[in-house]
Amino acid sequence: MSRLLLKRLGASLVTIWAVFTISFFIIRAAPGGPFDADRDPPPDVKRAIEERYDLDAPLWSQYLAQIQGWMMLDPGPSLRQPDHDVASILSAGLPISLTIGGLALLLGTAVGIFLGLIAALRVGGWLDHLVVVIASVGISLPLYVIAGMLVLAVSFGLGWLPPAGWESVPSLIMPVLCLALAPAAQAARLVRSGLIEMSSEEFARTARAKGISPFRVLFRHCLRPALIPLVATLGPTAAALLTGSLVIEQIFAIPGVGMHFIQGALNRDYPLVLGAVLLYTVLLQLMTLLADLMLLSLDPRLRGDAA
């Protein structure tokens, strides 16, 4: 068990290092530097700027210095906001993004499991059809379409909720709802098909033959094995939530990591963008690790191999 965990952690570290290296060289391979978009500075000014940010050192020593900086969690200043360093910008945004993403994940999964359950209770019924349609629409619609319609209807049409911002609890409702839709649709589909598959298994038939009510068979006997695919896709779901949060933070003007990431990407603030990419990689690796641990506790058959 602990050996498995160590192995997984090692693989995660290698992945994070690979992402860092690839990102670093993508940035440095590009023609033109971050300050080229401004009016061409005089040569000595440019040299002074480059010296300030160590851009004149040889490539490999910059690489090593960057790695060292990141390991100390002190990656240095942002290029576009010289008064702030990357670590403080990202750590200010992280709690906000985590709040929205975490709430969306919890809400989406709960609603999705519920919908999958009621759809599987009567396969082929109108509730089932409704859930399937909602789920396939929820998966194929772009997030900004849903968010746009919601803002038009709820904020501008009815005037119930603020259209943007991050001050109060009501301003949190719409971003979380929008972000929760995709995981809910995904969970509903997975749970529904998992439950249908499980309820034709022999243990479910036996339970029904003994006179246990269909709902109880689904809820107590079939639900647990049907949740396995849901947990197994937790990593990709988290990745989808992170990409979704970029759009949501943009639309609702929420000062999370995603907004800084997009701002940094638009005005080519390389240290900030690199920091956000690294942060996202670490988050995803953590989620995948969590998913694997949850799978172990959910599926006793896996434990034999792990020991």
Q: Name the residues that contact another protein, by CB under 8 A.
A: 15, 18-19, 22-23, 26-27, 30-32, 36-37, 136-137, 139-145, 148-149, 151-152, 155-156, 163, 235, 239, 242-243, 246-247, 250-251, 261-262, 264-266, 268, 270, 273-274, 276-277, 280-281, 284-285, 288
Q: Least CB distance from residue 90 to another protein, whole Å?
A: 13
Q: Least CB distance from residue 243 to another protein, whole Å?
A: 5
Residues in the chain, total: 307
CA distance 48 to 6: 45
Rg (Cα) of the chain, in Å, rounded? 24
Which one, 99 or 267, has the nearer CB to another protein? 267
Beta bridge partners of 77: 85
Q: Least CB distance from residue 17 to another protein, whole Å?
A: 11
Residue found by looking up tokens 């849901």 in the block: 230
What are 121-129's contacts with CB under 8 Å, separation 24+?
121/214, 121/215, 121/218, 123/196, 128/192
Which one, 48 or 153, has the nearer CB to another protein? 153
Q: Least CB distance from residue 220 to another protein, whole Å?
A: 29
| Mutual angle of helices 234-251 and 86-121, in 10-degree steps | 120
Which one, 44 or 167, has the nearer CB to another protein? 167
Q: Least CB distance from residue 277 to another protein, whole Å?
A: 5
Which one, 189 or 221, has the nearer CB to another protein? 189
Q: Least CB distance from residue 64 to another protein, whole Å?
A: 20
Which one, 140 or 200, has the nearer CB to another protein? 140
Non-local (6+) Cβ contacts of 148 within 8 A are: 251
Quickly list DSSP for 55-88: TTS-HHHHHHHHHHHHHTT---B-SSSTTSBHHH
